[in-house]
Amino acid sequence: MGAAAALLIGGYAPAIAAPASSAATALNWKACSGSSFKRWRDTDGASLTGFDCAALTRPLEANRPDGRKVRLAVARLKANGTAAQYKGTLFMNPGGPGNSGLSLSSIIGLLPPEIHASFDFVTWDPRGIGASTPLISGSGCNIPKPTRPTTGSVNWQQVLERRVRQVTDYNARCYRANSHVIENSGTLANARDLDALRQAVGDAKLTYWGISYGTLLGSTYAQLYPKKVRALVFDGNMDPQTTLYGINAGSVAPDHSIGFFLEANPALAPKFRAVMKSLDSKTLKLPDGTNYSRWDVLDVLNDDVPFFIDPGGDWVEAEQVIESAYTALTGSGTARQQALKALTNKSLQSPSTGTAGSYWSAVVCQDLADRPNAAARRSGIAWAVQQGPIYGGSLGVDYLSTCVGYGKAKPHPVPRPKNYGPDVPGIVANATRDGETPYQWAVNMARTYRKMRMLTLVGGIHGTFGLSESECVNSAIADFLVSAQTPSIDLSCPFSPPRTLP
């Protein structure tokens, strides 16, 4: 469950003056701009300007502390407030599983001033990805998007069968090349790494913000270390009781967010319908000789609509793909030629890789032990297409094929919360029509942790704190993180349109 396809915080220059923590540290922090970290990058390709970097060495296998090691890449932006304001470290995991914390470190630029004043901000690349080593990599680890017919009706059962064969081959090759790392890179291992990071910075208890999959990591931490929790924010939630088959429920989430996007931008709705009707029957020839299909439009909307990030925002890109396709199909003259040229931009086309495979499969197949059989997969895709007619099939074939080819991998399932608890302080935040993790998953998370409070944002965004540009959300979560006092009641916030849109 991805936190964002890209978080481009243009022009953000983080303040680096900070009170020194009184706690001893086991991390050898140095400026990330130094030669030791020249290949460590944020999402803009910059050398993590203003951040300090360090590496934390951990055992690859928990039961062999003296055996092989992993090296976690860690980045820190120090607090810029006074010593009296300082509260410790705010750890952030941006989700995925498979997102690099370092590449999304600029997300800190979206957070309120009181967070910068009160916390050192720390994020890291979990084992197996990004700048951490060893890296899960190889020819089988990046799986292309599923093959779907460009026009006409879609037999999703056939698409699923082809996808299963394809993912089986890719997963088997990726596992063969990385088996020892994969079998020690699930959420249990990542939760232990998070506790080691907490100890390394000298915090007695954990203050944590997890987005998307990061909520499952935070929940697992709470199960393992309930007495080491200071404050948890679960943002864009997974269901802590989910199964591998249950993840397929997320395949309909894009329909929720795309529907909300069109309701919030009503002038685009008839254009979207016209584009889909035309591309369902015939692809569009672009100036570079390639064919533009309905999946280019829908894949872009799936990737962009759940996120609007300053400046410009992914909603702007989602608007561009609909407007450009509409003009290319119905316009004439110079306007049509400009629209056709715009559609040659890779950002307005289907990405090269899908959800299944690589680190996503490596973690999910460690965490969840059930394996849907062929009959369950057929039932699952039929449900996804019925409940999510816009995009449910495209995502469902990925979710339902996630672990095929991993037959030899031994799962290490995450602990399931038993009934309720533990009682830890926290906020469970989610948008009503989240395009990545359905709202019901957040309800299930909040039901599990009875002492937490739910914060509901009206909208289709995935991730709320900072990401939604909602003052209502930001003030409530910032107050909680600084005070570590859980709100007395559940909270709700109205839709807040992106500042960058009319």
pLDDT single digits (tens) 112-152: 999 999 999 999 999 999 999 999 998 889 899 999 999 99
Cβ-contact 101, 123 below 8 angstroms: yes
Residue found under tokens 């909520």: 215
The DSSP bridge partners found for residue 234 are 210, 428
Domain assignment of residue 275, yes or no: no
b/e map 205-236, b = 16+ CB within 10 Å: ebbbbbbbbbbbbbbbbbbebeebbbbbbbbb
pLDDT single digits (tens) 284-314: 999 999 999 999 999 999 999 998 654 445 8
Res. 24: pLDDT tops 70: no
Domain assignment of residue 289, yes or no: no
Domain enclosing residue 480, as ranges: 30-135+183-244+421-493
Residue found under tokens 């020819």: 139
Cβ-contact 3, 104 below 8 angstroms: yes
Domain count of the fold of the chain: 1
Domain assignment of residue 86, yes or no: yes
**pTM, entire model:** 0.93
Task: Tell me which residue of 357, 351, 5, 420 sits closest to 170, measured CA to CA.
Answer: 357
Taking the chain, what is the end-to-end CA distance rounded to the nearest angstrom?
A: 29
Cβ-contact 68, 58 below 8 angstroms: no
Q: Which residue has the higher pLDDT, 497 or 485?
A: 485
Q: Which pLDDT score, from 0 to 100, does residue 33 have?
A: 85
Rounded to the nearest 10 degrees, what angle do helices 187-201 and 358-367 cross at?
100
Cβ-contact 200, 26 below 8 angstroms: yes
Task: Tell me which residue of 418, 405, 402, 494 sits closest to 450, measured CA to CA.
Answer: 418
Residue type, 268: L
Q: Which residue has the higher pLDDT, 369 or 17?
A: 369
Whole-number percent of the chain with pLDDT over 70: 92
Res. 2: pLDDT tops 80: no
Which CATH number characterizes residue 208's domain?
3.40.50.1820
State how far Cα 229 lies from the chain centre: 23
Task: Tell me which residue of 122, 74, 107 sits closest to 6, measured CA to CA.
Answer: 107
Q: Which pLDDT score, from 0 to 100, does residue 23 have?
A: 38
The DSSP bridge partners found for residue 455 are 429, 491
CA Rg, the chain, in Å? 22
Mean pLDDT of 92-103: 92
Domain assignment of residue 257, yes or no: no
Res. 19: pLDDT tops 80: no
**CB under 8 Å, gap of 24 or more: what pairs does 274-280 form?**
274/326, 274/329, 274/330, 275/322, 275/325, 275/326, 275/329, 278/329, 279/151, 279/325, 279/329, 280/151, 280/152
Q: Which pLDDT score, from 0 to 100, does residue 1 have?
A: 57
pLDDT single digits (tens) 448-481: 999 999 999 999 999 999 999 899 999 999 999 9
Q: Which pLDDT score, from 0 to 100, does residue 98 have?
A: 86
Cβ-contact 210, 95 below 8 angstroms: yes
Q: Which pLDDT score, from 0 to 100, does residue 139 have?
A: 84
326, two tokens: 């509409």
Domain assignment of residue 7, yes or no: no
Instruction: Tell me the C-alpha distance between 5 and 22, whole Å.
Output: 37
Residue type, 405: G
Q: What angle do CA 386, 391, 397 make, to 5 degrees?
A: 80
Res. 327: pLDDT tops 50: yes
pLDDT single digits (tens) 226-236: 999 999 999 99
Instruction: Tell me the C-alpha distance between 429 and 455, whole Å.
Output: 5
Q: Residue count of the chain, please give it.
A: 502
Res. 13: pLDDT tops 80: no
